[in-house]
């Protein structure tokens, strides 16, 4: 079985052994005491969770969008890289590789993109406070080979946030590829390592990126949906479901990515109000992580999902499917999606992608929320980790 991950450790790169050890020094240590790695999922601060009555009946603003706003209007959400932008990416990637810095040490300061900076700055704001997604095109993935492709892709991402590990192994760049893991063993595998269909979900980390390296022979199509639009629909059509989603009665599987003494699950609501900041509505959702806990509920350690919860899950998925924007990723496409106010899904596929997760500095500075991703054994609890939804 081929390894499914490109970067095996956040601190010890597989790149030349002579390369000096370097961590992402741009990451504020108050948020990243260990550099890139984060400390896994944490339960919310239960005493600051808001009741359903505190939630808005209707959310307004640019984060609320419908499929018709973008379908047939690629100019509103697609940015084809120009030849000069590609040239800038190529130059920066060549210089980074020549310097011998490990890929895990990539940062804004050692991957300068003067021409693209203003575009990426605007994009970053749109990811945080606007529609929450973009699709880049024309990235020369097949021309550059895997190493330069990974460097350029991650270098581009440094303009948007700090890379964080995606799992307990400290991986910061994942190879989304079917490595043969059995998707029916949902308590033990990460679904991105299989070819199974993903239901609508958000990843941990504020933004997730996906670069299409090889086109799927079939499937591999992507859907995204505005959580704020979904919330409005639920409030209109299924208020009982909306209410249930705000209650901290949902157990999420840590899938074994725990430190000593931690429970194998976390309990929290699916939607919650940001603690401080702009008081925005956020979501944490992945039905695979909710459904995979039968090994504990069968032993009576946690409750089984109720009929109401199963109904809510079904309604949520149906509304997401109905409201989602559909896209087919081509080779050289890079999709960046907010995890804070978007959910995404993909169809079953037979292709190959690179994925990465980022945690954005300004978002955490403003609000101190969502320090998620995964890590097995933190040296000490990071100070901002325990926030609702994080």
Residues that bind Fe ion in the complex, under the rule CB under 5 A? 203
Question: Angle at which helices 227-237 and 307-323 pack, to 10 degrees?
Answer: 120
By beta-carbon proximity to Fe ion, the closer residue of 85 and 286 is 286
Min separation Cβ 222 and Fe ion, Å: 10
By beta-carbon proximity to Fe ion, the closer residue of 273 and 345 is 345
Min separation Cβ 347 and Fe ion, Å: 13
By beta-carbon proximity to Fe ion, the closer residue of 252 and 296 is 252
Q: Which residue is nearest to Fe ion (CB)?
A: 203
Q: Are 336 and 160 in contact (CB under 8 A)?
A: yes
HSE value, Cβ hemisphere, 13 Å, CA-based, for 188: 7
Min separation Cβ 208 and Fe ion, Å: 6
Q: Give 356's strand partners.
A: 173, 209
Which stretches of 51-158 are DSSP H helices? Answer: 67-70, 83-99, 117-129, 141-158
β-strand pairing of 78-80 with 133-137: parallel
By beta-carbon proximity to Fe ion, the closer residue of 203 and 274 is 203
By beta-carbon proximity to Fe ion, the closer residue of 133 and 296 is 133
Please count the other Cβ atoms lying within 10 Å of the Cβ belonging to residue 84: 10
Give phi and psi for 213, each to the nearest 5.
-95, -45
Min separation Cβ 238 and Fe ion, Å: 24
- How many residues in the chain? 390
By beta-carbon proximity to Fe ion, the closer residue of 312 and 343 is 343
Min separation Cβ 82 and Fe ion, Å: 29
Min separation Cβ 348 and Fe ion, Å: 14
By beta-carbon proximity to Fe ion, the closer residue of 93 and 212 is 212
List all residues 6 or more positions away from 378 whose beta carbon is below 8 Å from its beta carbon. 34, 37, 39, 40, 259
- Distances, alpha carbon 156 to alpha carbons 120, 145, 185, 288, 372, in Å: 9, 16, 35, 30, 22
Min separation Cβ 384 and Fe ion, Å: 23
Min separation Cβ 343 and Fe ion, Å: 9
Alpha carbons 387 and 45: distance in angstroms, whole number: 6
Q: Are 85 and 93 in contact (CB under 8 A)?
A: no
* Nearest residue to 218 (alpha-carbon basis) of 327, 325, 348: 348
By beta-carbon proximity to Fe ion, the closer residue of 273 and 325 is 325
Q: Are 370 and 363 in contact (CB under 8 A)?
A: yes
Residue 214 parent element (H or E): strand 207-214
């Amino acid at each position: 079985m081929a390894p499914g991950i490109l970067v095996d450790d956040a601190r010890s790169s597989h790149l030349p052994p002579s390369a000096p050890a370097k961590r992402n020094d741009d990451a504020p240590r108050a948020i990243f005491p260990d550099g890139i790695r984060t400390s896994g999922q944490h339960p919310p601060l239960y005493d600051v969770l808001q009741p359903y009555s505190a939630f808005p009946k209707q959310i307004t603003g640019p984060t609320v969008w419908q499929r018709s706003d973008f379908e047939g209007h690629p100019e509103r959400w697609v940015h084809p890289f120009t030849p000069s932008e590609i040239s800038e990416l190529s130059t920066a990637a060549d210089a980074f590789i020549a310097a011998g810095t490990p890929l895990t040490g990539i940062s804004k300061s050692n991957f300068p993109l003067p021409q693209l900076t203003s575009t990426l700055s605007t994009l970053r704001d749109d990811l945080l406070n606007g529609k929450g997604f973009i699709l880049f095109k024309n990235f020369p993935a097949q021309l550059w080979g895997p190493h330069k492709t990974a460097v350029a892709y991650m270098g581009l991402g440094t303009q948007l946030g700090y890379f964080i590990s995606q799992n307990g192994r400290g991986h910061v760049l994942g190879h989304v590829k079917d490595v043969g893991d059995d998707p029916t063993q949902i308590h033990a595998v990460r679904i991105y390592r299989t070819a199974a269909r993903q239901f609508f979900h958000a990843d941990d980390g504020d933004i997730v990126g996906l670069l299409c390296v090889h086109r799927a022979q079939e499937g591999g199509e992507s859907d995204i949906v505005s959580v704020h639009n979904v919330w409005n629909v639920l409030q209109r059509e299924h208020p009982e479901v909306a209410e249930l989603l705000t209650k901290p009665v949902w157990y999420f599987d840590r899938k074994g990515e725990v430190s000593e003494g931690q429970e194998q699950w976390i309990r929290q609501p699916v939607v919650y109000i940001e603690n401080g900041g702009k008081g925005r509505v956020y979501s944490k959702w992945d039905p695979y992580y909710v459904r995979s806990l039968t090994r504990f509920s069968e032993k009576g350690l946690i409750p089984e999902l109720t009929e109401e919860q199963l109904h809510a899950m079904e309604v949520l998925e149906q509304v997401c499917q109905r409201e989602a924007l559909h896209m087919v990723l081509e080779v050289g496409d890079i999709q960046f999606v907010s995890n804070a106010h978007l959910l995404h899904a993909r169809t079953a596929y037979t292709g190959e992608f690179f994925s990465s997760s980022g945690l954005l500095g300004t978002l955490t500075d403003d609000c101190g929320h969502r320090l998620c991703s995964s890590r097995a054994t933190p040296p000490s609890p990071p100070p901002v980790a325990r926030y609702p939804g994080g």
